[in-house]
Amino acid sequence: MRSFSRRSIVVPVLLAVFFSAAATSPVRAQTLFTRDLCAPGAGNIGHSWVSIPSQTDLRTPEAICQAVPGLVTVAQGVDDSPLPSRLWTYDCATGACSSGQPIPEPGCTTSTCFCVDPGDGIDVVPAAATSLPINRCDTFTPITLVPGFKSYLYSIPFDTFLATCADLVAYIGLPATGTQRATITRLDCATGTFSQLTAGTASCAAVALVRGDAYRISYYLGGVSPGYSFTNAVACTPIAPPAAASCPISDLAFLNASTFAWSAPAGCPLPPAYDAIRGDLDCLRGFCSQAITPLSYSCAGCTLLEDDDMLDTAAGDPAIPAVGAGYWYTARVDGGTWNPPAGMTCSDWDFMLPPGGCP
């Protein structure tokens, strides 16, 4: 499928957006990753700095404690002077929350302690060696690292184009020269030792990021961060194309500002009846990059332009999006797939559009 979008800036601008998908049916709530947690010991042994995907069912310490019975504490941030971060620590046994900041975290209404927001890494301490199942996926969501602190415990996406410490520094825009260079720190939960890399050095460019680990981002020599905002550094992993029998459409294109058309898929075994839909462009920002089915639908519905149309292979829409907004469009053979024939993108439209929300 080719899906096209129209966006209004000052006048409507036509943009082409390509999407592709999978032939298989992923399992809902498929585990994205299983993170091993080390047994506790002296010093920092047993503290695991864990990445959490931006779309997660582990949004509170209460949920994390329930997911892994036997956890001792779950924290957001790191108690590591002289580089402290915002820090809330939740006791899984007693439910007590401790912090130097207000309790619960300001703006968090679902926990008595803190909420796991996109980009937040967590510090987990178990009573014995165990593992933490990570569900759902990373999305292209905005990340905000708040100003005024000396460090952050940052959650690296599980599926990312960032390969090294230097990639992370460059992507966020952290200082890599002068006396206030950023540092990127990883904690080895088995030994309790820290590996600290300084931005702008050869070792920062050479050392690979470890999947599943959260990293402490801080200023060298203890400078206070001004805060950063950026899009989650998610990779786009193309997924398999659909079977030819599901009649994928490959050549959808606009004929003019309000009409688009396509060709009947060659050899399609389904009747030549077509569905055409329109949706809001904003929902596409929530698409998962991994080939898994999310627990919630980024595009919760659509506007039906044609339903079981057997007259032609074209559809029109006179609507114009509001300034700064946009629409996407696509079509399918009725009963077939919304996905295109070639593996060009990372999102399965058949699973991103909810049952009953579109024809």
- Evaluate whether 273 touches 327 at the Cβ level (below 8 Å): no
- Spell out the domain ranges in the chain: 2-24+240-352, 31-231
Task: Give CA–CA dist 24/239, Å, rounded.
Answer: 10
Do the beta carbons of residue 293 and residue 354 sit within 8 Å? no
Beta strands of 234-302 (E only): which ranges? 253-254, 259-261, 274-280
The pLDDT of 64-71, averaged and rounded, is 94
Could you tell me which residue, 25 or 224, shows the higher pLDDT? 224
Give yes or no for residue 290 having a pLDDT over 50.
Answer: yes
**Torsion over CA of 342, 56, 146 and 103, rounded to 10 degrees?**
170
Neighbours of 120 (CB within 10 A): 24
What's the pLDDT score for residue 11? Answer: 24
Whole-number pLDDT of residue 37: 96
pLDDT category, 17, cuts 50, 70, 90?
very low
Question: pLDDT digits over 177-212, tens only?
Answer: 988 899 999 999 999 999 999 999 999 999 999 999
Matching residue, tokens 């332009």: 305
Highest mean pLDDT range out of 26-40, 54-68, 140-154? 54-68
User: How far, in Å, CA of 286 to CA of 205, rounded?
Assistant: 31
DSSP, res 38: P
DSSP string, 9-28: SSSEEEEEEE----SS-PPB
Share of the chain above pLDDT 90, in %: 54
- The secondary structure of residue 173, as a DSSP letter, is T
**Residues 80 and 123: beta-carbon distance below 8 Å:** no
pLDDT at position 81 over 90: no
Nearest to 259, CA basis, from 311, 319, 198:
319
Q: Which pLDDT score is estimated for 21?
A: 30
Q: Which amino acid is at 61?
A: P
Q: List the single range of 9-23, 206-220, 236-250 with lowest mean pLDDT.
A: 9-23
Q: What is the mean pLDDT of the chain?
A: 84
